[in-house]
Chains A and B, each alone.
Chain A
Amino acid sequence: MYGVHGGRTVAEERLLFPSSLITCNIGRALGHMHDDRDISTSAGSWWPGVRGTLVLVFLMAQAAGIVWGRVSGESFWAWAPHDSIVDYAIDAWHGGSVVARAAVEARYGLPAGGRRYEPAADLIAVVRTRDARLQQSDHCVRVTYRVNEGARRTWSWPAGCAP
C-alpha cells in the first residue's frame, strides 16, 4: 500500500487524484477497497460497493440540500453555519383564550421567546408544521420576530387571525 509511484506513495496518489470519486467512476473507487479488513466487509463482496455508493449519495444529497436551502429559505438541509440573530416571541390563542407559555413550549418544542441563530424561516416552519398537522380550527398562533435587530415582523397562522 505504501509503495512509491512516480515519487509519490500510492496513498498520496489517491489523495492527489480523487477523480474516481468525483466522476462517479464507482468501479475504480470500489476497487480500492480490497484492503478493507473490518468485520463488515466479510459479509460479502457486495457490501463494500454498497457502502461506497451510499457515501457518494450522502455527499451529493448534502450538496443538493445546500441548493434547496437557497430556494426554500429554510436552512434545515443547508445546515452549514449561516448566522443571523432572530429575536422572537410566540403567542397563541385557543378558542379566544391566551395559551400559557408552558403550553406553547410543549406544543412547538421551542422556547416561547428568546434569541436564535438560525434563519427566521426555520422558526416559522416549526410552528407552521405543528399547526398544519393538528388542524385545530380554533387555534391561532402569532410569531413576532426581528432579524439582526432590523424591523419587527409578524407571522400568524391562520393568516391574520391574531388579535
Chain B
Amino acid sequence: MSRRWRWSTLNPLRVGANGLPFEAALLARLVIVALLVKGYDALPGPGVAFIAAVEVEVPAIGPFIWPRLAFYLGAAAVLSNLAPRTGALLAACSLFLVSLWNMGSFSQSRLLPACLLLLVSLAPTSSATTLFRWQVVLLYAGAALNKSLDIDWWNGQFIHAYSASKAHLFFYADLADVAGRWPARLLSWSAMALEAAVAMAFARARWVPEGIVCGLALHTGIMAWLGFDFEAFFYTVAAAYAAAVTWPGRIEIQPPSGRVGVWIVGTLARVEWSGIWHVQKAVPMSPLRAAPTGALCVSAYHVDRVDRRTGAAAWRYLWLHHPTLLVAATAVLAYPSSYTPLGWVRVALLTAGLFVVGVPAMLDSRRSRNADERAVRIEAGPGDSRVGAERGRGHGPSSCP
C-alpha cells in the first residue's frame, strides 16, 4: 500500500475508488451530503416499532443515540473513500433501523436514501447502474399505482384541498371559482402521467434521458405549486438520476495563459493534492493550437473527427447531450425554494427552462445515443490540454482548436 495510494484515496474529490463504480460512488456521496445538509442525520428515537422485539431502550453515546453515531461513521467512510461500500451499508442500516423502530416516523425521505445506499453497498460493480435504474422504476411505479387507485387523485381533491389551504397560492380560490376543480384535476392527472412515464422510461436504459426530463419536470412542477422542496427526497431522487446516466468519460479544463492562469493552476494543484484531476502547472503551448482566450471548446461522442462548438453553442450542446447537467442545475437553482418569493421566481424559471431545454434534449438524444464513445473537453484558453484518464477510457489528443 503506497503512500500515494493512501493520499489519493482519502481525497474527497475522488469518485470511484476502491472498486466502486463512478456512478455508485457519486450516488453515495450525493445522498449522504443531501441527508446531512437537510438535517436527516438527526435520526428519531424509538417509538412504536414494527416488531415488538425491537422496542427496547437504546443506550446513548454522549449526545448521540448509537444509530446516529453509526450513520456518521458510515457517512465519513463514504465521503473519505476509506470504505465506501461498508460506509454506505452502515448508513443504510441506521436509516432502516430507525424506520423499523418508529412507525410514526416512517418517511420516504428516509427510506429512498436507505434503499439507494444499500444498493451501493451490495450491488455488483458491473450492474450497479442497472440496479439504480430499477430502484427508480420501483419508486415511480409504486407512486403511480398508489395514486391511480385513489379517487382523490382522479377528482383532484388532494390538490384542491392542499391548494386551498396554502397562503402562497393566493390566486387559487379565484381560479377555482372560475374553473371549478379542473385545474386541480389537470395537475393530478399530469402528476400521475409523469410518474408512470418516468417508471416506463427508466425500465429501459435508452430512455433514461427522457425519464429524467419527465422526472425533473414533475418534481420542479410540484415544487413550484406546493412551494416545498420535499426535503431530502428531491435531492436523493436527483442523485439517483445522476447515477443512472452515462457521464462524460473525461473533462479537460485549460485555464487561460498568463499570471491568472498560473495562479489558477497553482491553486488547483495545491487544493487537489493527489493529482487525480491531472492539474498541471506548466503546459507547453503550440502556435497551431492557439485560440482566442476564453473560447470554450467542447467535443463529444466522436472525438476523432472535428466536432467543435464554441460559446453559447457549446453550452447548448452540453445541455442537450448530458442531462446530468439538468440534474445538477436543478439541485443548485431550486434550493432553497420553500415559501420565499425568490424561491418561487427561481423555480418558475427553472420549470420553464426545463421544458424549453428538455424537449429538444429528448429528440436530440435519440439521434446520438448509439455513439460508442463519449467525451467532453472544455478549454477556456489556448494551449495543449491534459487528459484525465481516471475512468480508463482511452482517447487521443484533444481535437479542440
Contacts and interface: CB of A to CB of B under 8 A. Distances in A.
Interface of A: 1-2, 4, 7-9, 11-12, 14-16, 18, 20-21, 29-30, 32-33, 35-41, 48, 51-52, 54-55, 58-59, 62-63, 66, 69-70, 75-76, 78-85, 108-110, 118, 122, 125-126, 129-130, 133, 147-150
A9 B369 CA distance: 12
B38 interface: no
Contacts of A37: 18-19, 125
A41 B161 CA distance: 52
Contacts of A14: 126-127, 130
Interface of B: 18-20, 46-48, 50, 52, 55, 83-86, 102-106, 108, 111-112, 115, 118-119, 122-127, 129-131, 134-135, 138-143, 145-147, 149-150, 152, 157-158, 161-162, 164-165, 205-206, 233, 246, 370, 372-373, 392-394
Nearest to A30: B124
Contacts of A1: 126, 392
Contacts of A126: 47-48, 103-104
B345 to A, nearest CB: 25
Contacts of B118: 58
A129 B152 contact: no
Contact of A41 (B19, B55, B104, B152): B19
B339 to A, nearest CB: 16
Nearest to A36: B125
30 contacts: A2-B393, A2-B394, A7-B370, A12-B205, A12-B246, A15-B129, A15-B130, A18-B127, A20-B127, A33-B125, A33-B127, A35-B125, A35-B126, A37-B18, A37-B19, A38-B19, A55-B119, A55-B124, A59-B131, A70-B145, A75-B146, A76-B50, A80-B143, A81-B108, A82-B143, A85-B165, A109-B102, A129-B50, A148-B161, A149-B164
A58 B31 CA distance: 19
B106 A122 contact: yes
A4 B372 contact: yes
B152 to A, nearest CB: 5
A99 B181 CA distance: 41
Q: Which 3 A-B pairs have the closest CB atoms?
A: A109-B47, A80-B142, A37-B19
Nearest to B84: A38
A69 B149 CA distance: 11
B69 to A, nearest CB: 21
A84 B18 contact: no
A80 B108 contact: yes
Given A109-B104, A150-B152, 14 more contacts: A2-B394, A12-B372, A14-B130, A16-B206, A18-B130, A18-B205, A36-B19, A36-B124, A75-B146, A76-B103, A79-B142, A82-B150, A108-B104, A126-B104
Contact of B103 (A32, A59, A122): A122
B104 to A, nearest CB: 4
B305 to A, nearest CB: 16
Contacts of A12: 205, 246, 372
A129 B106 CA distance: 14
A36 B123 CA distance: 10
B204 to A, nearest CB: 8
Given A37-B18, A62-B115, A109-B47, A129 B103 contact: yes
